[in-house]
Amino acid sequence: MRVIEPIIRNARELLERGEHLIATAYVGNFASSTITPVVLRVDNEMAKEDSARLIKLAADFNDADFIFVLMEAWSLRKDKLSKVEQIYERYGSIAASPYAVDIMAASLETIHGVWMAEIPIKPKGVSKKKRTFGVPEFKHYTETKGRFVHLLPARDGEQDAGVLH
C-alpha cells in the first residue's frame, strides 16, 4: 500500500483545495518503481473502451503488476442500495437521483486479485468548494467483471492475470 498512499494523499489535497479530481488509472511495476498515469475518459461507452485499451497498453508496456484507479463517483445511500433498479428507471442514473452520495472510488488490481473501496466525500469545514475524504478501507473481491479489470499482462504459466484462487 506504500505505493498508492501518496496518490491517495495527493487526491485528498486536491479536493481540500477546492479542485476536482480527474479520473486516473496508475499503472505500475513494483520492481522498477515505474508508475504511468492514464487519464480515464468515462463520458460515453466508446471513451470507456478507449480508456480500458490505453490502460492495457500501458500495463503491457511497463510489464505492470498493479493498476490503481482513483475517481470521483456517485453511490447510493445504504438504505437505497436494494432499490437501485427502481432508481435507474425513475431518474436515469444514480447521479440524477436525490439519493446520490459523492464518493471517492478506488480499486487496486494486482496479480493476487482486486481490492476496492468507496470513501464518502464530505465538505471540509464550512466551505462549499473544499471537500475531503477519509482513509479508504479496501475489500478484496474474488469475482470481478467489467472493462476496467483483468488488464494486467499474463505472467508465465497464466492465461489471464485475473484473481488468485
What are 55-110's pLDDT values in tens digits? 999 999 999 999 999 999 999 988 999 999 999 999 999 999 999 999 999 999 99
Residues 6+ apart with CB under 8 A from 130: 15, 16, 17, 18, 123, 124
Taking the whole predicted model, whether its pTM rises above 0.75 is answered as: yes
DSSP 70: E
Find the angle CA(9)-CA(12)-CA(17) to the nearest 5 degrees: 125
What are 23-52's pLDDT values in tens digits? 999 999 999 989 999 999 988 899 999 999
CA–CA distances in Å: residue 54 to residues 25, 57, 99, 141 = 10, 5, 33, 24
Residue carrying the nine cell digits 496518490? 7
Residue carrying the nine cell digits 511497463? 62
